[in-house]
Structure 1
């Protein structure tokens, strides 16, 4: 007895029509009829009464339908159990993403990771420059995408460079910088500056201000990127924003020169987590992915 014979028999038993059963099974009617006749021969008794175009189950056929339905159900249950047992185990990967990172350079990378590793469930968690090391060492995240001035990660983290992005001066559309193609650092002297408290570039920027012996006023400070950009756009001050930040439509920006300011975006991890399956897969793809290039690279 073959399973296909059983399935053909059950299809006819359900529809009581050989032609319809053949269509549902996706085979020709002669092939289905031949398989049912062979099953009857193997079982030793007719399964159907054929009275012209009418088809009825025999008493033997009704008994066999009940038994063979159980056979098919048991077979399907066994196949599903085998699939569940043999399929790759689900892996949960908690990846931190710094809140100052714009999503645009990362979306294609994350989507490609999902396609290449459907068994890895990726969860993105917020991290900041201040708490990233704590969240990694505490096991809250397995790895983290961090922005670092000069590409310097805090100890004990290791990292893989993803891309660099320019730091830009953002301002309102009616600001004097809007007529320029770029802004020299010394031209920031005397400006009102909206202080981005979560910005990992903050101390580097303030060191540059001090080194140029410039004076800025700091009328406002916020941890929220949306509020910072809204205040800049309304003319309340200027701000330093990464190249790939999500921008409000009424915000203008120009690259900073003399010196040019860049930050490096790194995939950071603890050395002992480098070979963990999820982290290893993310690192491998990071090395193959085509990342954006900052101007001047």
Structure 2
């Protein structure tokens, strides 16, 4: 049994399909399938039920899951010990992010981190908040950008930096609200909405806002990708609440909401005050330094690094 095979096994569990797992592991699907078959042959049991559209664990697979996590965690700890000695000439760090992250230019920050630590491999996962939270608590992620429910992180997690994002209503060009530039929640009762998938930080924030204001939205379309949501709004299928930067980047009219002004809290979270993984500590230091720089002098605009 090889660590590589266990990592491939966990990738299929996490991604839900061999195709997505191969993509996340940066290998062709045939190589990943062969790796899993060899592992099943060595263990003498099928690990996945492949009869449906989405692969699911068999009883043998469920029995292997906690052991695989423990073995991979042990291997990661060994890598971390070596990385600490070699001054981060090597290492691995896993970070999670919400799909609608706008308060941080994550690609730019990861590029700057890579320039400083080219030997460190960075794994990025975007997923709904609940999945990211579970993965962070299970040790599958070192850090994650989350939108905590009611602004409160679950017990055991630590906030390293916090941002408040303004939400605006985006509309199609020429929409009756586009020229006004602002509106009240109560004036949206007859508007059709495009919504983001349930369980995401954006959907949760918008749902709570609507419930608080007594707005019963008429959802004409719900999506799983922010790019598609923007395109549907542009096509006139409905309006949507998004962070202002997403609307501005898309070139859509951004209508400010008054009474109340909607927003959401984004947090860079970890499992404790400082990650044990040296590569994660280095990435955290880089990201929090960037947050402080973006905040500027006292009274700066958005992030508060802790």
TM-score by length of 1: 0.62
| 2:106 alignment partner in structure 1 | 106
| 2:169 alignment partner in structure 1 | 169
Q: Distance in 2 between matches of 1:183 and 1:195?
A: 19
Change (3 A) 1:99 1:211: closer
Gaps of 5+ in 1: 1-84
Deviation per CA, 1:98-123, whole angstroms, max 9, x where unpaired?
12224863333223322333342222
Deviation per CA, 1:157-205, whole angstroms, max 9, x where unpaired?
2122253321111110111111123233222222111121153133343
Matched, 1:202 2:179: no
| 1:47 alignment partner in structure 2 | none
Deviation per CA, 1:221-270, whole angstroms, max 9, x where unpaired?
12222222221111111111112327674532223221112222221111
What CA RMSD, in Å, does the superposition of the two structures yield over aligned residues? 2.9
TM-score by length of 2: 0.60
Gaps of 5+ in 2: 1-84
Q: How many residues align?
A: 212
Q: SS where residue 156 of structure 1 aligns?
A: coil
Conserved? CA contact 2:88–2:278, under 8 Å: no
Conserved? CA contact 1:167–1:242, under 8 Å: yes
Shift of 1:287: 2.9
Deviation per CA, 1:113-152, whole angstroms, max 9, x where unpaired?
2233334222212222121122123332221122346532
Q: Distance in 2 between matches of 1:278 and 1:241?
A: 33
Change (3 A) 1:128 1:211: closer
Q: Distance in 1 between matches of 2:245 and 2:216?
A: 27
| 1:227 alignment partner in structure 2 | 228
Change (3 A) 1:184 1:278: farther
| 1:151 alignment partner in structure 2 | 151
Shift of 1:212: 2.5
Q: Distance in 2 between matches of 1:204 and 1:231?
A: 20
Conserved? CA contact 2:196–2:203, under 8 Å: yes
Flag the structure with higher strand content. Answer: 1
Shift of 1:279: 2.2
Change (3 A) 1:279 1:86: closer
Conserved? CA contact 1:162–1:291, under 8 Å: no
Shift of 1:88: 4.5
